[in-house]
Amino acid sequence: MKKQIFHNILLTCIWLVVVNIFALIALHRLNILPDQAFPWINPSDYPVHHDWNLINLHNRWDSIWFIDVARNGYYMRTDNVFSNVVFFPLYPLAMKLVSLFTGGNLVFAGWIVSSLFLVAAVVMFTRLVQEFHADIDPVWPVVFLLAFPTSFFLNAVYSESMFIFLSITTFYFALKKQFWKAALFAALASSTRMAGVFLFAPLVVEFIQSNGWRALFSRSMFPLLIAPTGALAFFIYHLYRFGDFFLYLKVESWWGRNFSGNIVGFKKILTHSGISNWIMEWSFTIFAFVVAILVLCKLRLSYGIYMLLSLSIAFASGGTFGIGRYAIVLFPIYIFAATIPSMHTKFAWLLTSTLSLSLDIVLFVNHYWAG
């Protein structure tokens, strides 16, 4: 077991080196015009600086807001103006702490935090596969994770790697029937991203499968109530600081994520780049939902419910917008891929995924929308 964990850690470290070298070369080799896939992208807001600072490659798009929270704390501006109150606190808090050892460089701190949590996620993922999917070679799920089209976000200044570590660890302890530990990690996940709240549902499923329906009405159910407390505490903070318990939902609607039924960014199809982006996002969406249904039917009930719930909420609140990035943390995708018996199908999946990853890296470092 330890040998395989070491091999997967080594694989992850090699991946970190390769993708970052590729990103640095992609930034300097190509002279790309500003992104025209969305009408709301103002090129002057996202200038591309062609320098050889590897650290700064990881500071794009939402990275700015995580850095802002870590540096300035939470604040509100006027109505309908972007504010940082929708970015959950655990990741920027970790950045702030690590920045004590990076001379106050928050971008470097964020890169370190993301990379370390990626390695930790790989360790827990390997353990989960070894203990609960013994028929699968544990290297395969890790390979599919690292080759996923939006996996570069796992080492950018984003909370994805922290969240996938916490979600995998939540499931790991739930499958071991250690529900106190599982709920604690779910609570931490819900203080990292709103999607962490959805971990409550698979926890309940695993709890019922282990203890029966009647246990829901006993004291043994109490640990599960811890699961959503991270998000609850964040909302209570909003009430105390800004006087609005539902401030997160309000500000999210300003960011274009609400339940109005409107598919965000429909006007982007008026340009060639917009059409290409639209095709990519819908391909991600269809792929993710199909795999979620297959996971539900063939792999594990709690996995499938978690995936479908996460994807459905994301889709209902913002259409296909960002589905590629939301899907990366849904680790059952990679377990399912590893169960495919045909090597030809596996390699076709990996080839397609790797090519898409290469494209997304080029997009990301050049301030194009990716994921």
The pLDDT of 85-108, averaged and rounded, is 95
Which pLDDT band, with edges at 50, 70 and 90, does 266 fall under?
A: very low
Pick from 128, 133, 135: nearest CA to 164: 128
Burial of residue 56, with CB atoms counted within 10 A of its CB: 0-12 exposed, 13-18 middle, 19 or more buried: middle
Q: Which of 120-129, 213-222, 234-243, 352-361 is the least confident region?
A: 213-222
Query: Which two three-digit tokens encode residue 114?
Result: 């993301």
pLDDT of residue 264: 46
Query: 341 and 136 in contact (C-beta within 8 Å)?
Result: no
For the chain, give percent helix, strand, coil, nearest 5.
Answer: 70, 0, 30
Percent of the chain with pLDDT over 90: 55
Question: What is the CA angle 358-360-366, rounded to 5?
Answer: 105
Count of beta carbons in the 10 Å neighbourhood of residue 226: 19
Q: Give the pLDDT confidence of 138-157 residue by residue, as tens digits.
A: 999 999 999 999 999 999 99
Percent of the chain with pLDDT over 70: 87
Q: Which of 193-197, 215-219, 251-255 is the least confident region?
A: 251-255
Integer CA distances (angstroms), 341 to 230, 279, 337, in order:
40, 29, 9
* pTM for the whole structure: 0.90
Q: Is the pLDDT higher at 128 or at 36?
A: 128
Locate all alpha helices (DSSP H) within 30-77, ordered by sequence.
63-72
**Dihedral, 302, 307, 308, 311 alpha carbons, nearest 10:** 160
On the question of pLDDT at 254 being above 70, the answer is no
pLDDT of residue 133: 94
